[in-house]
Protein backbone atom coordinates (compact mmCIF):
# COMPACT_ATOMS: atom_id res chain seq x y z
CA UNK A 1 0.00 0.00 0.00
CA UNK A 2 1.38 3.38 -1.01
CA UNK A 3 1.80 6.01 1.71
CA UNK A 4 -0.60 8.93 1.12
CA UNK A 5 1.94 11.36 2.65
CA UNK A 6 5.23 10.59 0.94
CA UNK A 7 4.25 8.07 -1.76
CA UNK A 8 6.58 5.36 -0.48
CA UNK A 9 5.51 1.82 -1.23
CA UNK A 10 7.08 0.34 1.89
CA UNK A 11 4.21 0.45 4.44
CA UNK A 12 3.20 -2.18 6.93
CA UNK A 13 0.04 -3.16 8.79
CA UNK A 14 0.27 -2.55 12.54
CA UNK A 15 -3.36 -3.28 13.48
CA UNK A 16 -6.32 -5.01 11.80
CA UNK A 17 -9.90 -5.25 12.99
CA UNK A 18 -13.43 -5.36 11.57
CA UNK A 19 -14.80 -1.93 10.69
CA UNK A 20 -17.91 -0.61 12.42
CA UNK A 21 -20.20 -1.80 9.63
CA UNK A 22 -18.76 -5.36 9.84
CA UNK A 23 -18.51 -5.51 6.05
CA UNK A 24 -14.90 -4.40 5.80
CA UNK A 25 -11.56 -4.60 7.57
CA UNK A 26 -9.99 -1.49 9.08
CA UNK A 27 -6.20 -1.52 8.88
CA UNK A 28 -3.81 0.88 10.63
CA UNK A 29 -0.63 1.21 8.61
CA UNK A 30 2.78 2.68 9.26
CA UNK A 31 5.10 4.16 6.65
CA UNK A 32 8.74 3.20 7.31
CA UNK A 33 9.92 6.07 5.12
CA UNK A 34 8.20 9.09 6.76
CA UNK A 35 7.07 7.40 10.02
CA UNK A 36 3.46 8.53 9.57
CA UNK A 37 0.41 6.39 10.23
CA UNK A 38 -2.75 6.10 8.17
CA UNK A 39 -5.88 3.98 7.98
CA UNK A 40 -7.12 1.89 5.07
CA UNK A 41 -10.30 -0.11 4.63
CA UNK A 42 -10.40 -3.43 2.84
CA UNK A 43 -13.69 -4.62 1.42
CA UNK A 44 -14.59 -7.80 -0.42
CA UNK A 45 -15.35 -7.10 -4.03
CA UNK A 46 -18.64 -8.72 -4.85
CA UNK A 47 -19.40 -9.95 -8.32
CA UNK A 48 -22.91 -8.94 -9.33
CA UNK A 49 -24.98 -11.98 -10.22
CA UNK A 50 -27.17 -11.64 -13.29
CA UNK A 51 -30.31 -13.72 -13.82
CA UNK A 52 -31.17 -14.79 -17.35
CA UNK A 53 -34.96 -14.77 -17.66
CA UNK A 54 -36.97 -17.06 -19.95
CA UNK A 55 -37.17 -14.29 -22.57
CA UNK A 56 -33.32 -14.04 -22.46
CA UNK A 57 -33.40 -10.64 -20.74
CA UNK A 58 -30.76 -10.26 -18.03
CA UNK A 59 -31.47 -8.56 -14.73
CA UNK A 60 -29.62 -8.30 -11.41
CA UNK A 61 -30.25 -11.06 -8.88
CA UNK A 62 -32.95 -10.09 -6.39
CA UNK A 63 -33.38 -12.17 -3.22
CA UNK A 64 -36.84 -10.70 -2.64
CA UNK A 65 -38.20 -12.48 -5.74
CA UNK A 66 -37.25 -15.88 -4.32
CA UNK A 67 -38.61 -14.79 -0.96
CA UNK A 68 -41.98 -13.79 -2.47
CA UNK A 69 -42.33 -17.10 -4.33
CA UNK A 70 -41.50 -19.22 -1.31
CA UNK A 71 -43.64 -17.17 1.09
CA UNK A 72 -46.55 -17.37 -1.35
CA UNK A 73 -46.18 -21.16 -1.67
CA UNK A 74 -46.06 -21.53 2.14
CA UNK A 75 -49.14 -19.32 2.70
CA UNK A 76 -51.38 -20.67 5.49
CA UNK A 77 -49.02 -23.57 6.13
CA UNK A 78 -47.78 -24.32 9.67
CA UNK A 79 -44.28 -23.08 8.84
CA UNK A 80 -42.52 -20.44 10.89
CA UNK A 81 -40.97 -17.39 9.27
CA UNK A 82 -37.66 -18.50 10.77
CA UNK A 83 -37.79 -21.82 8.86
CA UNK A 84 -38.80 -20.01 5.66
CA UNK A 85 -35.85 -17.60 6.00
CA UNK A 86 -33.52 -20.53 6.62
CA UNK A 87 -34.81 -22.19 3.44
CA UNK A 88 -34.28 -18.97 1.46
CA UNK A 89 -30.72 -18.76 2.87
CA UNK A 90 -30.08 -22.36 1.74
CA UNK A 91 -31.35 -21.58 -1.77
CA UNK A 92 -29.26 -18.43 -1.95
CA UNK A 93 -26.20 -20.25 -0.63
CA UNK A 94 -26.52 -22.89 -3.34
CA UNK A 95 -26.96 -20.22 -6.03
CA UNK A 96 -23.83 -18.32 -4.96
CA UNK A 97 -21.78 -21.47 -4.43
CA UNK A 98 -21.91 -22.01 -8.19
CA UNK A 99 -19.46 -19.10 -8.45
CA UNK A 100 -20.85 -17.90 -11.74
CA UNK A 101 -21.69 -14.41 -12.96
CA UNK A 102 -24.94 -15.51 -14.62
CA UNK A 103 -27.62 -18.03 -13.74
CA UNK A 104 -30.89 -18.82 -15.49
CA UNK A 105 -34.20 -18.28 -13.75
CA UNK A 106 -34.97 -21.92 -14.65
CA UNK A 107 -31.96 -23.08 -12.65
CA UNK A 108 -33.03 -20.96 -9.68
CA UNK A 109 -36.55 -22.39 -9.94
CA UNK A 110 -35.19 -25.94 -9.94
CA UNK A 111 -33.09 -25.24 -6.84
CA UNK A 112 -36.14 -23.81 -5.05
CA UNK A 113 -38.29 -26.79 -6.06
CA UNK A 114 -35.63 -29.25 -4.91
CA UNK A 115 -35.46 -27.56 -1.51
CA UNK A 116 -39.26 -27.24 -1.19
CA UNK A 117 -39.85 -30.90 -2.05
CA UNK A 118 -38.23 -32.06 1.17
CA UNK A 119 -39.42 -28.99 3.10
CA UNK A 120 -43.21 -29.12 2.64
CA UNK A 121 -45.10 -31.09 -0.02
CA UNK A 122 -48.02 -28.63 -0.25
CA UNK A 123 -45.66 -25.67 -0.66
CA UNK A 124 -43.75 -27.69 -3.26
CA UNK A 125 -46.90 -28.36 -5.35
CA UNK A 126 -47.98 -24.74 -5.09
CA UNK A 127 -44.58 -23.50 -6.25
CA UNK A 128 -44.35 -26.16 -8.98
CA UNK A 129 -47.79 -25.24 -10.33
CA UNK A 130 -46.63 -21.68 -10.97
CA UNK A 131 -43.03 -22.47 -11.93
CA UNK A 132 -43.93 -25.27 -14.35
CA UNK A 133 -46.99 -23.38 -15.55
CA UNK A 134 -49.46 -26.23 -15.10
CA UNK A 135 -51.98 -25.90 -17.92
CA UNK A 136 -54.73 -28.12 -16.53
CA UNK A 137 -55.83 -30.32 -13.64
CA UNK A 138 -54.26 -33.43 -15.21
CA UNK A 139 -50.77 -31.89 -15.02
CA UNK A 140 -51.46 -30.97 -11.42
CA UNK A 141 -52.62 -34.51 -10.63
CA UNK A 142 -49.50 -36.03 -12.25
CA UNK A 143 -47.31 -33.98 -9.91
CA UNK A 144 -49.41 -35.01 -6.90
CA UNK A 145 -49.09 -38.69 -7.90
CA UNK A 146 -45.29 -38.33 -8.01
CA UNK A 147 -45.33 -36.95 -4.47
CA UNK A 148 -47.63 -39.67 -3.20
CA UNK A 149 -45.48 -42.37 -4.80
CA UNK A 150 -42.32 -41.04 -3.15
CA UNK A 151 -44.08 -40.85 0.24
CA UNK A 152 -45.18 -44.49 -0.04
CA UNK A 153 -41.61 -45.69 -0.62
Q: Where do the domains of the chain lie?
A: 11-43, 50-152
Report the side by side order of strands in the sheet with 24-31. Answer: 11-18, 24-31, 37-43
For 82-137, give the DSSP string: HHHHHHHHHHHHHHHHT--SEEEHHHHHHHHHHHHHHH-HHHHHHHHHHHTT--SH
What's the confidence (pLDDT) of residue 18? 86
What is the pTM for the complete model shown? Answer: 0.64
What's the confidence (pLDDT) of residue 147? 77
What's the confidence (pLDDT) of residue 106? 93
The mean pLDDT values, 10 residues at a time, for the chain of 153 residues are 92 89 85 94 79 94 94 94 92 88 94 92 88 76 79 70
**Residue 95 · residue 108 · CB < 8 Å:** yes
What's the confidence (pLDDT) of residue 143? 77
Amino acid sequence: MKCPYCGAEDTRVIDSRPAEDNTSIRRRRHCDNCNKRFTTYEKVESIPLMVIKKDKIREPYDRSKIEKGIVRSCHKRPISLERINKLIDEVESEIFSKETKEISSDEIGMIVMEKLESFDSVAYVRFASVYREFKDVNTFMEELKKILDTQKN
